[in-house]
Amino acid sequence: MKRTSARGYSFCMIVAGGLVWTGCQMPGYFSQPVTASEPSGEQYTQTPSAVLPEDVSFFGTHPDGQRVPYENRLLTNMTRHTFSSIGRDFDPDLHSDARTLVFASTRNSRHPDIFLKDVDGYAITQLTSDPDDDIQPRFSPDGKSIVFCSNRTGNWDVWLINRDGTELTQLTHDRSDEVAPCFSPDGQHVAFTAWGRRSHQWEIWVLSIDRPGVRRFLCYGMFPDWSPDGKRITFQRARQRGTRWFSVWSVELVGEEARHPTELAYSDASACIAPRWSPDGKTIVYCCVSQTTVTRDNSGSVPADVWMVDARNGTRFKITDGAVGAFNPTWSNTGRIYFVSARSGVENIWSLRTEFEDYSDPARAGESPEVSQTAANIPLETEGK
């Protein structure tokens, strides 16, 4: 399958045999050098630093998938949290206190670093500064450390750093690429995505923070996220028939095994990717991309929206308006959904109020969430039904 790429680090997934990160663009880690344009119009060529098999595809192999007809809604409850005008802010994650945001950005360099800021403030603290790429940060449950991935050793590995920037530790050392790390709710384990050299598939593995050299295979898939109770993991995985688009799955964790794989959200004409659990463990937010290649429309936006699916019954809701691409969604304990969008002209981090209960309030945590009136309470339409 022909690969297409644009310079950047903001897409929220691994694509077409190369590594693609949260937002609207991707780095050129492909089998051929990639020529692209920065916003300034400067042309340059990047030589690939990692070569992956030709048959690995983010969107699948179907070249003629049609766009899913979405219902657009005018959204008036969005808040902007980062204000980069040069470079891009992407890969957001929220501290458990719902007041601190960690993210990756190219605002200070052509290669991304990790940054911290107050969600409502303007001051930004740079946590890492490396000539290579640091992306996909995730807070530990206690907020004291951050796990992320970096290619500073020549390929993508998982790293750990304290919130104050001390004690940088490399957790994985394989020659294969390992990305998309996330903590278990008890903070003792990290799940991540690795390219299987034998299986030639993306695999999800789990390691112990205390013994990172000892790890176990969980299942095939990408971009894992642990449920708040620690009993399930959600992830994206390509369907095995038809268009081979990605869909959202979950597995139950029984001992050290993954059981009862369940497909929660799918479309015959779109890729359902980058799932994240809500704080009460009842709902999953994800991104739905509606083209077979990552291309921009006339506004410079990739056609993608943020959706939610009820993990109990599979009911799906669209929560962004479709006007501008929205990627890489994640939750805060207040029920707000944070995501990446170029609706300001450059990729920045925004949030959307959903009228959910305040999950940080123990008295309300067990109540069933309600979807705001801005959500389109309709399932994804699909082809070939």
Neighbours of 175 (CB within 10 A): 12
The predicted-structure confidence for 185-209, as pLDDT tens digits, reads as follows 999 999 999 999 999 999 999 999 9
- Find where tokens 């991935």 sit: 149
286/306 Cα distance (integer angstroms): 6
Indicate if the pLDDT at residue 63 is higher than 90: no
Indicate if the pLDDT at residue 92 is higher than 90: yes
271/274 Cα distance (integer angstroms): 10
- Find where tokens 């309030």 sit: 361
What residue type is 315 in one-letter code? T
pTM: predicted TM-score of the whole model, two decimal places: 0.76
Alpha carbon of residue 68 to chain centroid: 21
Average confidence score pLDDT of the chain: 77
Q: Are 214 and 207 in contact (CB under 8 A)?
A: yes
Q: Could you tell me the domains of the chain?
A: 78-352 (2.120.10.30)
Q: Long-range contacts for 355-359 (Cβ within 8 Å, ≥24 apart)?
A: 356/278, 357/280, 358/333, 358/334, 359/278, 359/279, 359/280, 359/333, 359/334, 359/335
Q: What is the mean pLDDT of residues 286-295?
A: 72
Instruction: Please tell me which residue, 136 or 269, carries the higher pLDDT value.
Output: 136
Q: Are 184 and 230 in contact (CB under 8 A)?
A: yes
184/216 Cα distance (integer angstroms): 14
- Find where tokens 């983010």 sit: 58
Q: Residue 272: which residues within 8 A CB-CB, separation 6 or more?
A: 236, 245, 246, 247, 248, 265, 266, 286, 287, 288, 307, 380
240 exposure class (CB count in 10 Å sphere: 0-12, 13-18, 19+): exposed
Q: Name the token pair of 236.
A: 């994206």
DSSP string, 255-270: TTEEEEEEEEE--SSS
Q: What is the mean pLDDT of residues 6-12?
A: 34
DSSP string, 326-371: EEEEEE-TTS-EEEEE-TTSS-EEEEE------TTSTTTTTSPP--
Residue 244 pLDDT class (50, 70, 90 cuts): confident
- In this structure, what DSSP letter does residue 52 have? -
Residue 355 pLDDT class (50, 70, 90 cuts): low
The predicted-structure confidence for 126-158, as pLDDT tens digits, reads as follows 999 999 999 999 999 999 999 999 999 999 999
Q: Is the dihedral of CA 384, 17, 94, 103 positive or negative?
A: negative
Cross-strand bridge partners of residue 169:
160
Nearest to 157 by CA among 213, 80, 238: 213
Residue 301 pLDDT class (50, 70, 90 cuts): low
Q: Are 209 and 188 in contact (CB under 8 A)?
A: yes
